[in-house]
Chains A and B, each alone.
Chain A
Amino acid sequence: MTQTVHTNAQAPSASVPPYQPAPAPQAKLLSLGNIVSLLVLALLIAIPIFSEGFFVFQMTQMLVYATAVLGLNLLTGINGQFSLGHSAFYAIGAYTCAILVELGGVNYMLTIPIAGVVAFVFGFLFAFPALRLEGIYLALATFALAVATPQLLKLNAISDWTGGVQGIVMFQETFDVPVPFGLPMDPGTWTFYLTLFVFAVVYVLALALVRSRTGRAMMAIRDNPIAARSMGISLPYYKATAFGVSALVTGIAGALNAIVIKFVAPDSFTFIFAVLILVGMVIGGVGWLQGCLIGGLAMLYFPNIAEVFDDIVLWVANIGGFADALPSGNEMQQQFIRLSGVIYGVILVLIIYLAPSGAGGLLRAIAGRIKRLLS
């Protein structure tokens, strides 16, 4: 008999805590998070009041991008599935909107939810064959989708609908987004508020979804698929749903983009744009939906980083007196365009190294520091 076989075990100690039903904490209405959210909302609402023109347009674009980042984050951050192909769902949303408005004569505001539903269907259907793919293979499949999308949109067979390479110019009769209900606003201000409204609704619904049974099932799959299955969670159902919902949100962003830019064309939706959404998500914080506005800002300004770099080089060259040695004009631009890809890459790697959990992680770390200092 082995030494461990002792049947007459010690008397059971009664140290299991007595049963006390503890109430689940109710979500506080005036939590720090909610206060910050309301402040940010107030700040956003105030933008057109205190500024105009190009800046309002940029902030509109930022909100559109933030919506796309939110969409991708629902898939990657919440469900743990990768996508390099979200430019495709963005394109589907944008084209649904443009085609319905220009060919169908549908009210452009109505096309926003329709674009979401169409993108949901595409996302859900794409997910089924992709369900068996993990990690790098899923990345490859979505990459293929991103690469194929502009080519498909250029196909002659559907060019009556899509406008082929030319794309679709929207609001040709009115020349600008029609402002409804006789509101006393210029179209730029109106599109800003429309975008803000749609973003806010999508954001609140996304947060509600993540907090619910469905959201928990998605996060369970992200953290431990085998345990999730043993808890009764169907992997195909929730992974396809996550894909669909993510595509839905990204498709809505695409429709907003079409309305804001008043134009859709195949080459706006290349693989590069999918990478840009990914960059926005990483900077905003993977899995931290609140970071989507930061992600939107990053998407807006990231492409300008090369220009900034360009300026810095010129400035240094002028001070150092070797400006003549630099290539001039067009030639220089060409070189820097090539360089910009490298710069993006380097900056992205730096961000991932320095703040692996994105802005969200940084903010939480700082908040934790402050709390500890105060206590």
Chain B
Amino acid sequence: MVGAKGQTPVISIQGVTVKFGGIVALDSVEFDILDGEILGLIGPNGAGKTTLFNCLSRLYTPTSGNIAFMGESILGQPAHRIAGLGIGRTFQNVASFANLSVRDNVRIGAHSDTRSNPLFDALWLPSVRREERKIDEVTADLIGWLGLEDVAELPVGGLPFGTQKRVELARALASHPKLLLLDEPACGLNHDEVSELGTLIKRIRDERGVTVLLVEHHMSLVMSVSDRVVVLNFGEKIAEGTPDEVQKNPEVVAAYLGDGH
């Protein structure tokens, strides 16, 4: 496990199993994500990558096993507390607030990082104005950082797929997450956009100090940005190591070529 920036695990996945009726979507999966690293998570379709993401964001509850974030189990937390703890995410198929503007989408991303109550909000009290200013600053910063100024006031639903994905990224970053989960961010992007995305993921880690868990089918992207890679197949972890190690692993090669199954 070389290549990691730090040695403290940000999140530790401990024997996580998820069953849907007869299907075992995850089978005792176990690995750590270290502070400041970019960890690639790969595996063929249906391997269980999104299922693991959904466990990390508490949309699913594992059948058994534990997930510890910064040393504490998150399994007792409801889904809406996860962002506040410092875990942000994007979705495999974009999950935007389609009728709202790009700016409002990003503002909503800052929800977990800010406080208000409906009564004060309706009266637009000074405390509300202060909080809104904070939200607006974070939002403007991210909109600039991700080059979304031109579309900032447009409803997200009508924007191209690639732009929507960037909006989701901005939205996830607005809560200043410690750990960012990216589910296939390159899906649907063209060649240039993918290489831009690679640069961007590194900048998110380097400039914003965010640890990244990257699920991706685009191998050259995963291998170029990841410090380490974990490989899932049929719900089981079959390999873990540096990109080089993983690519030489015969089991991984077999899984991708479809041998042995």
Task: Give the interface of A toward B (CB within 8 A).
Answer: 1-2, 4-10, 12-17, 19-25, 205-206, 208-209, 212-217, 219-220, 222-224, 226-235, 241, 245, 287
Residue from A12, A231, A235 in contact with B202 in the complex, judged by beta carbons closer than 8 Å: A12
Question: Which chain B residue has the least Cβ–Cβ distance from A209?
Answer: B122
Contact indicator B83/A24 (Cβ below 8 Å): no
In angstroms, Cα B132 to Cα A208, docked, is 12
Contact indicator B220/A227 (Cβ below 8 Å): no
Kindly supply a per-residue 1/0 record for chain B positions 143-171, scoring 1 wherever the CB is within 8 Å of any chain A CB and 0 otherwise. 11111010011000000000000000001
Known: A9-B198, A214-B117, A214-B121. A231 touches B108 (CB 8 A): yes
Shortest A287–chain B CB gap in Å is: 7
Q: Determine the chain A residues whose CB is within 8 A of the CB of B144 once the complex forms.
A: 17, 19-22
In angstroms, Cα B42 to Cα A355, docked, is 47
Known: A20-B144, A213-B121. A12 touches B97 (CB 8 A): no
Q: Which 7 A-B pairs have the closest CB atoms?
A: A232-B112, A9-B224, A212-B121, A232-B83, A4-B219, A17-B147, A24-B136
Known: A9-B198, A213-B132. A229 touches B97 (CB 8 A): no
Contact indicator B200/A241 (Cβ below 8 Å): no
Contact indicator B135/A5 (Cβ below 8 Å): no
Question: Which chain A residue has the least Cβ–Cβ distance from B88?
Answer: A230
In angstroms, Cα B220 to Cα A6, docked, is 5
B228 interface residue (CB < 8 Å to A): no
In angstroms, Cα B91 to Cα A228, docked, is 12
Task: Give the interface of B toward A (CB within 8 A).
Answer: 57, 59, 78-84, 89, 91, 95-100, 103-104, 107-109, 111-114, 116-118, 121-124, 128, 131-132, 135-137, 139-141, 143-147, 149, 152-153, 171, 175, 192, 195-196, 198-200, 202-203, 217-221, 223-224, 243-244, 247, 253, 256-257
Shortest B256–chain A CB gap in Å is: 5
Shortest B232–chain A CB gap in Å is: 16
Shortest A289–chain B CB gap in Å is: 13
Question: Which chain A residue has the least Cβ–Cβ distance from B223?
Answer: A7
Q: Determine the chain B residues whose CB is within 8 A of the CB of A19 once the complex forms.
A: 141, 144-145
Shortest A218–chain B CB gap in Å is: 9
B59, B99, B122, B137, most chain A CB atoms within 10 A: B122
Contact indicator A16/B200 (Cβ below 8 Å): yes
Contact indicator A24/B96 (Cβ below 8 Å): no
Residue from B89, B100, B145, B223 in contact with A219 in the complex, judged by beta carbons closer than 8 Å: B100
Residue from A214, A217, A226 in contact with B95 in the complex, judged by beta carbons closer than 8 Å: A226
In angstroms, Cα B146 to Cα A222, docked, is 26
Interface contact tally, CB-CB below 8 A: 176
Contact indicator B196/A9 (Cβ below 8 Å): no
Known: A6-B223, A15-B192, A23-B140. A232 touches B99 (CB 8 A): no
In angstroms, Cα B150 to Cα A17, docked, is 12
Contact indicator A215/B83 (Cβ below 8 Å): no
In angstroms, Cα B153 to Cα A219, docked, is 16
Q: Determine the chain B residues whose CB is within 8 A of the CB of A230 once the complex forms.
A: 57, 59, 79, 82-83, 89, 91, 95
Q: Determine the chain B residues whose CB is within 8 A of the CB of A223 once the complex forms.
A: 96-100
Contact indicator A219/B121 (Cβ below 8 Å): no
- Give the secondary structure class of A's interface: loop
In angstroms, Cα B103 to Cα A219, docked, is 14
Residue from B124, B171, B253 in contact with A212 in the complex, judged by beta carbons closer than 8 Å: B124
Residue from A24, A205, A217, A234 in contact with B108 in the complex, judged by beta carbons closer than 8 Å: A217
Q: Determine the chain A residues whose CB is within 8 A of the CB of B108 once the complex forms.
A: 216-217, 220, 228, 231, 233
Question: Which chain A residue has the least Cβ–Cβ distance from B81?
Answer: A232
Question: Which chain B residue has the least Cβ–Cβ distance from A6?
Answer: B220
Shortest B188–chain A CB gap in Å is: 16
Shortest B208–chain A CB gap in Å is: 11
Contact indicator B122/A212 (Cβ below 8 Å): yes
Contact indicator B140/A24 (Cβ below 8 Å): yes
Q: Determine the chain A residues whose CB is within 8 A of the CB of B221 once the complex forms.
A: 9
In angstroms, Cα B255 to Cα A1, docked, is 10
Shortest A237–chain B CB gap in Å is: 8
In angstroms, Cα B257 to Cα A25, docked, is 53
In angstroms, Cα B148 to Cα A20, docked, is 11
What are 12 inter-chain pairs, A to B, with CB distance below 8 A?
A: A1-B256, A4-B218, A24-B139, A212-B121, A214-B122, A216-B111, A220-B108, A229-B80, A230-B59, A230-B91, A232-B83, A232-B113
In angstroms, Cα B112 to Cα A213, docked, is 10
In angstroms, Cα B220 to Cα A7, docked, is 6
Contact indicator A233/B111 (Cβ below 8 Å): yes
Contact indicator A232/B111 (Cβ below 8 Å): yes
In angstroms, Cα B119 to Cα A209, docked, is 8
Known: A9-B223, A19-B144, A216-B111. A227 touches B122 (CB 8 A): no
Residue from A13, A217, A229, A235 in contact with B199 in the complex, judged by beta carbons closer than 8 Å: A13
Question: Which chain A residue has the least Cβ–Cβ distance from B246?
Answer: A5
Known: A7-B223, A16-B199. A231 touches B109 (CB 8 A): yes
Shortest A358–chain B CB gap in Å is: 14
Q: Determine the chain B residues whose CB is within 8 A of the CB of A216 once the complex forms.
A: 100, 104, 107-108, 111
Contact indicator B171/A7 (Cβ below 8 Å): no
Question: Which chain A residue has the least Cβ–Cβ distance from B174?
Answer: A231
In angstroms, Cα B136 to Cα A245, docked, is 25
Shortest A306–chain B CB gap in Å is: 35
Q: Determine the chain B residues whose CB is within 8 A of the CB of A6 once the complex forms.
A: 219-220, 223
Shortest A91–chain B CB gap in Å is: 24
Q: Determine the chain B residues whose CB is within 8 A of the CB of A7 once the complex forms.
A: 220, 223-224, 243-244, 247
